[in-house]
């Protein structure tokens, strides 16, 4: 009986904390398309494949947008990132370079999948 009580106590040390954890937040969904309508917290976007998407925006939404720049706009010390695709030669080729505002440095650097390349029928 004593061995059973000790075993239950040891098991509960591992099970109870695992049950108390909150599930991880879902991964963000990124949408690339054209804004059709903004009505308060409701955004309608026409995706690149022509689908109309209704998106409910959070009250604390952060909007990012791109403006066209040239290579001459890049200065020493700028916070930049690039998007690349694998070419037929097996090497990565840059297809976009972004210049970020300084206040975004340290906010989300990393490798992320991106959908800048054209949509191909075999990847839908």
List beta partners, residue 55. 43
Is 0.85 topped by the overall pTM? no
The domain segmentation of the chain, as residue ranges, is: 25-63, 67-107
Write out pLDDT tens, residues 104-117: 888 877 776 666 66
Long-range pairs for 81-86: beta carbons < 8 A, 24 or more residues apart: 81/109, 83/114, 83/116, 85/116, 85/117
- State phi, psi for 52 to the nearest 5 degrees: -90, 125
| Region 76-94 average pLDDT | 89
Closest CA to 56 of 40, 34, 69: 40
């Amino acid at each position: 009986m004593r061995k059973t009580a000790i075993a239950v106590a040891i098991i509960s040390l591992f099970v109870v904390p695992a049950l108390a954890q909150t599930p991880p937040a879902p991964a963000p969904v990124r949408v690339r398309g054209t804004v059709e309508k903004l009505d308060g917290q409701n955004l309608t976007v026409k995706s690149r494949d022509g689908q109309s998407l209704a998106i409910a925006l959070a009250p604390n939404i952060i909007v990012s947008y791109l403006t066209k720049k040239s290579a001459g706009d890049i200065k020493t010390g700028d916070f930049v990132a690039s998007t690349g695709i694998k070419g037929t030669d097996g090497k990565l080729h840059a297809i976009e370079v972004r210049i970020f505002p300084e206040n975004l440095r340290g906010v989300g650097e990393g490798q992320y999948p991106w959908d800048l390349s054209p949509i191909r029928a075999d990847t839908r």
